[in-house]
Structure 1
Amino acid sequence: MTAASPKVVLAGCAKLPEGDGDEAEAVTALRELGVAAEWARWDDPHVDFTAADLVVLRSTWDYPDRRTEFLDWCDSVPGLCNPAQVARWNTDKTYLIDLARAGVPIVPTELLPPGTAPHWPGTEFVLKPAVGVGSIGAARFAVKSVEAARSHLDNLHRGGHTVLAQPYQSAVDSEGETALVFLGGVFSHAFTKGAMLAGNEVDGTGLFVSERLGVATPDPARRKLAEDTLDAAAELLRLRRSDLLYARVDLVRADDGRPALLELELTEPSLGFRHAEPAAALRFASAVRARLGG
């Protein structure tokens, strides 16, 4: 560590230039470790991101409609975490197919590029855009709601989206999702996310659907799957796990009773610090400092 305080920029967006409040304790922890941390919009033309020692992707949640621009910006930032190659792969949910081919058990997923029609499942199902954040554009449909589903699919296709079709896993209604957070490749903490319901409201920013979150203690099967998922992703990306400053592995219990991967968040996930013990924010700050070489 040099005598001058290293500079870390947390990247937000125009509607959430300082995030949604989840990182408040982490920013305090960074400053207590002698790391100057400040927020900036990723698309602010007045900020020289190349001058920062580290730029951490956080609430950059307006990129789905500007993904090419966002990825070009990622490529231009040398100290980006997670790296630009990770953002390019992980901001399109078709990465799930890569992980399935690598042996990771995922929620069954059918890809529907514009111009294609699904094999409508005989159970409740979910349609979601392959490029999207915060469950925006995702919808859950009953078996008899094919017409409504077709209309939703057509709307997403007209917007140029490839769409994921997935059978809804019924255990989510009672258990929700389990999000396991890794910092520097090491498990840190976990939290639950409530079921996606038809009545869920979009946050006032319009960037994400409001969720019910809570503390979680994942069982060994979920811990193992999360570890296996992170290993598989690192191998696909030709990185070490420790190269990933943060990762969030979202799991559900599939209808066969075993855990399955719903999403792997490596670009800009909420890390749930408000639903973890205070030491989680300290672990994040320590992982950042380690990345800085201190």
Structure 2
Amino acid sequence: MTNHHQSTRGEPRVALVTCDRLADLDPDDRLVLAPLAARGVTAEVAVWDDPRVDWAGYDLVVLRSPWDYALRRDEFVAWAQTVPALVNPADVVRWNTDKRYLGELSAAGVPVVPTSWVAPGESWRPPADSGEYVIKPAVSAGSQDTGRYDLADPEHRELAAAHVRRLSDAGRLTMVQPYLDAVDSDGETALLFLAGPQGLAFSHAIRKGAMLDGPDLGVEGLYKPEEISARTAGGEQLAVAERVLAEVPGGPERLLYARVDLIPGPDGAPVLVELELTEPSLFLGYADGAAERLADAVLTHLARRRP
């Protein structure tokens, strides 16, 4: 799968980082392989926790699908700190893999889905109102360990409390957020940004349909099939995304990519659900030229690292 020896052709070598269960990359990520090759870049797939990989032998190490890190975050962050030429950078990985960054962004004035936090060992009772809520761990990938609860339903109230206890017993910080009805009608808008000569630039947007269909039962949870389609980003969404990215530690100009996930809030204005800077799906197959733009972003970062 992966050749860990220095290229004899003098081409820059780039590692695309994944996990064991996606040893050939996610299909969407594979779309960038041909554009990279066309630009004279040797791209190799590497599993982040494979001890045989010589990370220092690469000109750039690009995080793509290391989606098994959530239960091993400390190990993953420590690994990231040892990797030269990592993008996005290790300090961004540390900050972005714990969703407490949402609190920091909210304090900075960014519109964020209201979030409360339950520390391990802390007692918690479901809110008295009868709305719907989402419960999930502060460190997670995808929709793992995430559930949706209608607190008007007594059974859901019990399941919500059990979900928090389960996360607490595992030593995990819990997030509790109101479920925004616009997820069901409008869906999420994911805005994708890629590095360019003038810094991080908007590339494309997609719509994600609602996935959460009920409580997390401690095994797989209940999720709808993921529905993805192309979407045109509005001016208000782009403005919020720019506000979000301006608050990234160290500045957005260091990033290779960013994904800003927005949902209309109760008043219809976009609010941030998640900022993906570590291993986001980039949905390259949903926009003409997106894979080529990612390949160009890689070239931009390679050029910055030339002596």
How high is the TM-score relative to the length of structure 2? 0.88
Tell me, yes or no, if structure 1 residue 196 matches structure 2 residue 182: no
Letter in 1 for 2:242: E
Instruction: Choose the corresponding residue for 1:162, options 173, 177, 190.
Output: 173
**Whole-angstrom distance in 1 between the partners of 2:214 and 2:57:** 44
User: What's the counterpart of residue 103 of structure 2?
Assistant: 97
User: What's the counterpart of residue 44 of structure 1?
Assistant: 50
Deviation at 1:14, TM superposition (A): 0.7
Specify the structure having the higher radius of gyration (Cα).
Answer: 2
User: What's the counterpart of residue 119 of structure 2?
Assistant: 113
- Percent identity between matched residues is 47
Tell me, yes or no, if structure 1 residue 179 matches structure 2 residue 190: yes
* Count, aligned residues: 284
Q: Deviations over 1:199-235 (max 9, x none)?
A: 699xxx99x98521110111111111011111122xx
Deviation at 1:78, TM superposition (A): 1.0
Deviation at 1:151, TM superposition (A): 0.7
> Partner of 1:292: helix, strand, or coil?
helix
Deviation at 1:242, TM superposition (A): 2.1
How high is the TM-score relative to the length of structure 1? 0.92
> 1:236-255 counterparts in 2 under 5 A?
237-239=249-251, 241-255=252-266
Tell me, yes or no, if structure 1 residue 286 matches structure 2 residue 286: no
Deviation at 1:83, TM superposition (A): 0.3
Is contact 1:135-1:209 (8 Å) kept? Answer: no
User: What's the counterpart of residue 232 of structure 1?
Assistant: 247
Structure of higher RCO (CA pairs closer than 8 Å, 6+ residues apart): 1
Letter in 2 for 1:186: A
**Whole-angstrom distance in 1 between the partners of 2:172 and 2:25:** 26
**Whole-angstrom distance in 1 between the partners of 2:229 and 2:162:** 34
> Partner of 1:247: helix, strand, or coil?
strand
Q: Deviations over 1:150-207 (max 9, x none)?
A: 0111111111110110000001101110000000111000111111232699xxx99x
**Whole-angstrom distance in 2 between the partners of 1:211 and 1:35:** 32
> Partner of 2:84: helix, strand, or coil?
coil
**Whole-angstrom distance in 2 between the partners of 1:15 and 1:259:** 35
Deviation at 1:143, TM superposition (A): 1.8
Q: How large is the Cα RMSD of the aligned pairs?
A: 2.1
**Whole-angstrom distance in 1 between the partners of 2:192 and 2:69:** 22
**Whole-angstrom distance in 1 between the partners of 2:28 and 2:178:** 31
User: What's the counterpart of residue 271 of structure 1?
Assistant: 282
**Whole-angstrom distance in 2 between the partners of 1:124 and 1:246:** 32
Is contact 1:120-1:146 (8 Å) kept? Answer: no
Tell me, yes or no, if structure 1 residue 20 matches structure 2 residue 20: no
> 1:122-161 counterparts in 2 under 5 A?
122=129, 123-144=131-152, 145-161=156-172
**Whole-angstrom distance in 1 between the partners of 2:97 and 2:64:** 13
**Whole-angstrom distance in 2 between the partners of 1:35 and 1:138:** 38
Is contact 1:112-1:118 (8 Å) kept? Answer: no
Letter in 1 for 2:250: R
Letter in 2 for 1:35: V
